[in-house]
Amino acid sequence: MFLISKIFWLAAQPLSFSFFAALAGLLATAAGLRRTGGFLGGLGALVLFVSLFTTVGPYALQALEDRFARPSPSPATLSCIIVLGGAFENEVMAGRGGMEFNQAADRFIETVALAKRYPEARILVSGGDGSFSGAYAGDAEASQGFLAAFGVGGERLIREEQSRTTFENARNTKDLLAANGLSNCALVTSAFHMPRSVGLFRALDIPIIPWPTDYRTSGKLGLSFDFTQPSLNAQLTTTAVREWIGLLAYHLAGRTPSILPAP
């Protein structure tokens, strides 16, 4: 299932879809199917235009980011802090050493801040190697050195190193929480990823306090044309489409009770 989802996403992400639609249009036209070719080519061009030159994608991402807010006031105590992986550039680190992050680095920055604020809390890092090859260290392994560099002792760390998907994050975390007698946990992940994560954790009866971070939008976007930042629009659209597909797929698979979990 993991490999199927990876392969599907290679073709389904907006820029890839636009390319394959245009290619299919050219082949259909060459085969004499001009109407079909024109439709496919136009569909590819439309998806490309929406991705590059409108705020549709960023707006869809903003809707996910707005779904869950951090608790206010903050809880007096936490027994654990769960952080979902996906922030380390593990392939780059394997080749060059050191610590390298992608845009989701805020997940671990926020975790360090929480670890300082709640010194008695354990830190459970959930994340294995999500690459096709499976040849790299996952975030749970890579995080140990990062947390230690900021004074978070290894005795506080619980590493879940097998998960490659959000569903596996939740399932494997449940076992570790039970084994360590932990509850009253904050769940740290990217704000756009929080609805899917909360849905999965709730479905497995894991009580968590959503603690979103890594916001990608301002929270003030409306729907409009935007010709000023096409590469950023495409990036945010890709992230939004992937997350919405994930929400729908997990719901259809019976892993979450609703497409968009309520706060």
Question: Please, what is the angle between helix 56-65 and helix 230-252, to 10°?
Answer: 50
Instruction: Name the token pair of 68.
Output: 């869950």
The structure tokens 């073709």 sit at: 11
Average pLDDT over residues 183-196: 97
pLDDT at position 132 = 66
Q: Tell me the pLDDT band of 3, cut-offs 50, 70 and 90.
A: confident
Q: At the topology level of CATH, where does 80-213 sit? A: Rossmann fold (3.40.50)
β-strand 157-160 against 122-126: which pairing, if any? parallel
Average pLDDT over residues 38-51: 98
Helix (H, G, I), strand (E, B) or coil at 35: helix
What stretch(es) of the chain map to CATH 3.40.50.620? 80-213
Is the pLDDT higher at 99 or at 233?
Answer: 233
pLDDT at position 173 = 97
| 219 pLDDT above the threshold of 70 | yes
The model's pTM: 0.94
Instruction: Tell me the per-residue pLDDT of 110-169, one tens digit each, with 9 for 90 and over.
Output: 999 999 999 999 999 999 987 766 677 889 999 999 999 999 999 999 999 999 999 999
pLDDT at position 191 = 98
